[in-house]
């Protein structure tokens, strides 16, 4: 199982940097994504995370409060997380 750690600032530049790492991590088992240190997240990274969840074996995302709130505000909470705290 592959593991990826998201940076504190997940903006467009971060999405561009993370893309090759996520592509390389796609396989038959879920990719573990550690987003517990995320303080800011933008639309590009949210789109990347949705793509990761839908690709290959999927992805399991551990979220910070900021990442969870961004997902909630954009309507992506159930799309991104296994057991969201609704």
Per-residue pLDDT of 30-64, as tens digits, reads: 999 999 999 999 999 999 999 999 998 899 999 99
Could you give phi then psi for residue 70, rounded to 5 degrees? -60, -40
Is the model more confident about 84 or about 50? Answer: 50
Q: Is the pLDDT of residue 26 over 90?
A: no
């Amino acid at each position: 199982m592959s593991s990826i750690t998201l940076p504190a600032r997940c903006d467009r530049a971060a999405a561009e940097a993370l893309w090759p790492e996520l592509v390389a991590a796609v396989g038959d088992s879920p990719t573990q994504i550690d987003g517990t240190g995320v303080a800011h997240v933008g639309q590009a990274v949210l789109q990347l995370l949705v793509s990761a969840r839908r690709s290959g074996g999927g992805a399991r995302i551990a979220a910070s409060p900021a990442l969870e709130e961004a997902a909630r505000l954009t309507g992506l909470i159930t799309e991104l997380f296994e057991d969201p705290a609704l």
